[in-house]
Each structure stands twice: as structure tokens, then as C-alpha cells.
Structure 1
């Protein structure tokens, strides 16, 4: 079973584009994890943030890009999709993203400044395939699965 549920904050407004008859929106979710770390005799609380790439298609993409903006809380379920491409140097690069099948509007913006002001690392923004790669990827296209 390939099912993922995510709840986090949008790192920016959705990037949208049209590929043939498919409307596509993509973004990153910032998801915080707070944990305790023991160093010698002291316990400290630490925080780490993961940036999860998400992609929505068609009506879901239109709705999300219209009503959700940077800093909004996002709750969605979907599936993990991996892909590969060849970069300018001829090297094969592998990427992953979560294809969102269902999402809900969750009230409120992030009030703490810590997550909202975190910038998405530049190398992560480049890790997503360019929009031409989506031309062959459809929301229900199972033909690219290796099994």
C-alpha cells in the first residue's frame, strides 16, 4: 500500500502550470518535528523541519492554488511517486514527491515565526523535475510503475 498523510505549512504560494489538458500545482510542506536530545547530564528540546514536495492535479490543483497561500496549514493524503531525469551533465537524478489525492482546508496560519520564515533550501527547489517532465505524468497513470 502506498498511502501518505501529511500535515504541515505551505512554504510558498503554489507554482501552477498547464500541460496539455492537465492543470498542475506544486509546493513544499514544512513539517516540524520536536524531539528531546540527551547530552551527558542535560536534556534539551530540539526542532527539525522537513520540506516535503507535493503535487496536485486538475480540479484539486485549481482549488488549492486559488484558496491556499504561503503559510497556510495543509492536510492531505496521497501517494509517493519517484521519478528520474538526466541533468545537463548527463547524470541520472532521482526525485520523489507526494501526489495529493485528497486534501482538506485546515483553519489558521502558522503563528510561530520559526517555520513561516524558514526558507526552502535552494537545492531542494531544483530537485523537482521541470514542467516538461509532467507532460507524460498523469494523476492516474499506472503505466510507469515497474511492476
Structure 2
């Protein structure tokens, strides 16, 4: 290791802000992914079963999701503008299906899930993102502590 000067106050503030940013982004993103997975699991276990009649699609970079009207099998629950989450990748040029049966509505009534939805992957990705965020923040904190106390650079 080479010796270097201790960090100035401004540099310590910048590193501290980097730590806070890393924690917020990774833990927030990780919790968001995990929450989506757990919401899907809960919907698949407890949500009302019904049919989604697609009316539109919402496309991202890789694939699209169907948006439509959900009607429960017994007709007691109807919800519009429901986003469907499933394992089938929908492309921009795929024809719109007439109706998708066996769909379960989430409690928030904004998302529905098919039985092939894999809820474990978002939970695992969320946990991994949280662990990476904690590791980055810990590394930055150790760097800040080392440079503050000894005057050595890494």
C-alpha cells in the first residue's frame, strides 16, 4: 500500500453520499422486486380466479405485457386496466388473444397472474440486489474509515 493524504471533508461527504445512494438504489430496487414476487405468490394462492380479456399491450425493451379487463369466474369481481404477468414472452407483433382463462387477480387490483408465473425469480433477484448493495456500501464505508484513520490509500 502506498501512503496518501487523508480524505478532505468534501471527499468524505461525497463518499458518504455514494454509500447512501448505493443503499437506497439497491435496497429499494431489491425490495421492489421481492415485493412483486411475493404479491404474485399471494395472488396465485388467494386471488379470485377469472378471465382477462386483453384490450392493449404495454411494451418494454424486451417484451410486452397484456393489459385488459378482468372478470372473475363467478362474475362478482370486474376490474379494468389490469396488467397480466406470466412466463410467456409477448412480442410487439403477436396477435391479441380473445381471452386468457385461469388468471388470478392480485389484492391491489392492478395486476393479474397466470398459473405459470414464476414468483421465485423476482424474490431471488431482489435478495441478490440487496446483498450487492450492502456489500458495495460496506466496501465504501471501510475505504472511508481506512483513509480517515491511517492516511493510507487503497
- TM-score per shorter chain, which class? 0.3 to 0.5
Considering Cα pairs closer than 8 Å and 6+ residues apart, tell me whether 1 or 2 has the greater RCO.
Answer: 2
Q: TM-score by structure 2 length? A: 0.34
Bigger fraction of residues in strand? 1
* Structure with max Cα Rg: 2
Give the structure with the higher percent helix.
2
TM-score (norm 1): 0.35
